[in-house]
């Protein structure tokens, strides 16, 4: 088992008033860890302690009690900071600087050479879709455009640990989807990512593990699949199959298990529909006034870890091609009883495979 990148043990933070009296117990005895290459999501209602927890991880505030280790060291250690990228909750950029100047400024803080700064600035601005606006002062930027610059800034040192506090806040659905895709590719390159959000859709199909906070306490944590899977319901998917052909099999299944299976057509998500529509529109309007279609991950973010299995693709993958669906050219001359028996055998076989 690799050493976790982040290990927090009974982490707590109480904010005190002017007289030193405890005012808010923002985080209470929260323990968790993040493994290399994993995406950990902190989910919780407003004021539940997500930002306070993240700030303790990046040593912006100290815990009142408990301990946090990052790469096996105290988070205040400079060697840790060199390997850390942080996107704060609020994007605060110098309004008169251009994206070029801002990324170069953060590159300087990490002591990058002029040539390397220019290389990374070019790649990062392409990646976040703002290369065309690189000479405009960021004070003019929309909220989502500024957020993208914040994200580019967090990546300038090619960090091994990325701490993102509500990275999709202010982004349109296309931006959210791009940021999620970017986070997935970074994790596949071995980077560890801790991300907070109060938007369920942001984290549901992104994270490997979830930590749910409420009033400063961890109320749930675990693998996304373990937390979300409904083990009482089994779903069979028959892509492209006429419902009439599935009906006899469902009848057989219903009789076998004394249940009433449901049949319908799955709906595309609004996100998929929206992304496809915008993509079509953008192809016919090549001149962007806001954000352009973003390029892929900046090549310099090469990652040091090996590629890991994409847990997400496993989560969203449809069940293995069901053996229950009859081949399209199956003979149609069977009697009703034979067909029924055949369908029942196939359905049972498929079910056995599914529940194995």
Ligand X SMILES: Nc1ncnc2c1ncn2[C@@H]1O[C@H](COP(=O)(O)OP(=O)(O)OP(=O)(O)O)[C@@H](O)[C@H]1O
Interacting residue ranges for Mg ion, rule: CB under 5 A: 50-51, 89
CB 155 within 8 A of CB 86: no
DSSP state, residue 160:
S
Q: Which does 47 bind (CB under 5 to 8 A by kind): ligand X, Mg ion, none?
A: ligand X
- Please give the structure tokens belonging to residue 293: 């279609």
Nearer to Mg ion, 217 or 278 (CB): 217
DSSP state, residue 95:
T
Q: Which of 49, 54, 29 is nearest to 195 (CA)?
A: 54
- Distance between CA atoms of residues 109 and 153, nearest Å: 11
75 binds ligand X (CB under 6 A): no
Q: Which stretch binds ligand X (CB under 6 A): 30-38, 50-58, 113-121, 220-228?
A: 50-58
Q: Which stretch binds ligand X (CB under 6 A): 41-49, 102-110, 298-306, 316-324?
A: 41-49
Least distance (Å) between residue 305 CB and Mg ion: 28
Least distance (Å) between residue 44 CB and ligand X: 5
Helix (H, G, I), strand (E, B) or coil at 43: strand
Cα angle at 337 between 334 and 338, to 5 degrees?
A: 45
Q: Out of 8, 28, 48, 158, name the contact with ligand X by CB under 6 A.
A: 48
- Distance between CA atoms of residues 53 and 44, nearest Å: 12
Least distance (Å) between residue 166 CB and Mg ion: 6
46 binds ligand X (CB under 6 A): yes
Cα 142 to chain centroid distance, Å, stands at 23
94 binds ligand X (CB under 6 A): no
CB 5 within 8 A of CB 192: yes
Q: Which stretch binds ligand X (CB under 6 A): 47-55, 218-226, 262-270, 309-317?
A: 47-55
Q: Which stretch binds ligand X (CB under 6 A): 49-57, 77-85, 111-119, 276-284?
A: 49-57
Nearer to ligand X, 24 or 278 (CB): 24
Q: Out of 26, 93, 145, 194, name the contact with ligand X by CB under 6 A.
A: 26
- Distance between CA atoms of residues 100 and 214, nearest Å: 40
Q: Which does 52 bind (CB under 5 to 8 A by kind): Mg ion, ligand X, none?
A: ligand X
- Please give the structure tokens belonging to residue 91: 């994007």
Q: Which does 273 bind (CB under 5 to 8 A by kind): Mg ion, ligand X, none?
A: none
50 binds ligand X (CB under 6 A): yes
> Which string of b and e fits 160-197 if b means at least 16 CB within 10 Å?
bbbbbbbbbbbbeebbbbbbbebbbbbbbbbbbbbbbb
17 binds ligand X (CB under 6 A): no
Nearer to Mg ion, 46 or 333 (CB): 46
């Amino acid at each position: 088992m690799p050493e976790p990148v982040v290990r927090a043990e009974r982490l707590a933070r109480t904010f005190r008033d002017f007289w030193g009296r405890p005012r808010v117990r923002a985080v209470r005895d929260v323990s968790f860890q993040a493994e290399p290459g994993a995406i950990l999501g902190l989910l919780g209602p407003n004021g539940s302690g997500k930002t306070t927890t993240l700030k303790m991880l990046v040593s912006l505030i100290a815990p009142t009690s408990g301990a946090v280790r990052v790469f096996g060291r105290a988070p205040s250690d400079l060697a840790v900071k060199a390997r850390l990228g942080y996107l704060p909750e609020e994007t605060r950029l110098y309004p008169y600087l251009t994206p070029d100047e801002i990324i170069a400024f953060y590159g300087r803080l990490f002591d990058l050479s002029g040539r390397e700064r220019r290389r990374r600035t070019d790649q990062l601005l392409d990646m976040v879709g703002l290369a065309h606006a690189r000479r405009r002062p960021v004070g003019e930027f929309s909220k989502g455009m500024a957020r993208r610059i914040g994200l580019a800034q967090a990546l300038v040192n090619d960090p091994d640990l990325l701490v993102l506090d509500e990275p999709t806040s202010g982004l349109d659905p296309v931006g959210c989807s791009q940021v999620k895709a970017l986070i997935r590719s970074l994790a596949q390159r071995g980077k560890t990512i801790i991300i907070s959000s109060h938007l369920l859709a942001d984290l549901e199909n992104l994270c490997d593990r979830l930590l749910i906070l409420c009033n400063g306490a961890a109320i749930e944590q675990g693998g996304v699949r373990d937390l979300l899977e409904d083990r009482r319901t089994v779903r069979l998917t028959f892509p492209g199959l006429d419902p009439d052909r599935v009906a006899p099999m469902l009848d057989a299944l219903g009789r076998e298990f004394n249940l009433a299976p449901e049949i319908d057509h799955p709906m595309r998500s609004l996100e998929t529909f929206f992304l496809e529509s915008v993509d079509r529109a953008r192809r016919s309007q090549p001149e962007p006034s806001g954000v352009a279609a973003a390029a892929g991950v900046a090549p310099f973010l090469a990652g040091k870890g090996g590629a890991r299995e994409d847990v997400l693709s496993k989560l969203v993958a449809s069940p293995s091609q069901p053996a229950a669906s009859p081949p399209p050219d199956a003979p149609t001359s069977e009697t009703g009883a034979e067909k029924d028996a055949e369908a029942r055998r196939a359905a049972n076989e498929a079910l056995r495979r599914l529940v194995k």
